[in-house]
Amino acid sequence: MVADNGETITPETCPTANGMPMLGLGTWQNDDPEDCTESVRTALEAGYRHIDTAQAYDNEEAVGEGIARANVDREDIFLATKIWISNLSHDDVLETARASIDRLGVDYLDLLYIHWPSRTYDAEETLSAFSELYDEGLIENVGVSNFLPEQVETAVDICDAPIFANQVELHPLLPQEEIRETCEQNDVEVVAYSPLARGDVFEQPTIQDIAAKHDASEAQVSLAWLREKGVTAIPKATGAEHIQDNWDSLALELEQEDIDAIDAIDETSRQVDPEFGPWN
């Protein structure tokens, strides 16, 4: 697709945050092996270079197969996975991270997250294992996920390796201003999961109006708003049409009045709220 400034959107022109492509493919609940493999292959061949998975998604092998099938070099792909809450003791981190790498069929990970600060999570013990993996070159970056501002600050202070990103639910109906501010102050990137609020943004009148104004989809408006906030988005998509529609959001440039209108939405919708969430 061609952007408003006439530039064709390609993998090379996709904006990045410290080397991380700011639009990626999420694979949560994409647990049919063939569907997952094909969605990853389709996304990579459409231009995506950022793929996100997790141990808990039970699809790392399928994601790895999608990467293998795509006509894209491994070194051009930013690949992330997450350690589940039952595997966060020091030794379990080391063991299960290697198992994830094996399932994905790669030699290293671009980013490895702590999925939630819960259950077996102990800041010093868990992060020391992540630092070891970083020092060994098995992971390029250390990430945290679903961390509250004070938990981000603790991780930054404790971890010997830099904390690269905090992945949280973030969209126009859950803007997470405090988390974004804390991450910015600590040079931590923000990655948004469920960036379309599982479809709730499609029904939001302000988003609908801005989409109509720009002849764009509501998904594209929401993803463009996140990008304007400096947030990387990893929307889940399985079909080729949705994968392409999300990619085309990179061509949409919102006006300041659009951003202000979205910022003023007085509606909150948290989609992911497990009992072990740190805010509960």
- What residues are labeled active site? 57
Give the tokens for residue 124: 């010093």
Tokens 């943004």, residue located: 201
Beta strands at 142-145 and 163-169: parallel, antiparallel or unpaired: parallel
Maximal CA-CA distance, the chain: 53
Please report how the helices 256-263 and 218-228 are oriented relative to each other, as an axis angle in degrees rounded to 10: 100
Token couple for 66:
């999608």
User: Residue 192 in contact with residue 222, Cβ under 8 Å?
Assistant: no
Count of residues making up the chain: 280
**Integer Cα distance of 272 and 66 in angstroms:** 27
- Write phi, then psi, for 130 (nearest 5 degrees): -60, -40
- In the chain, count H helices and then E strands: 10, 10
Q: Report DSSP state, residue 176.
A: -
Quote the CA–CA distance of 51 and 8 in Å, as a whole number: 22
Task: At 143, list the tokens.
Answer: 């990430």
- The residue with tokens 């792909």 is 77
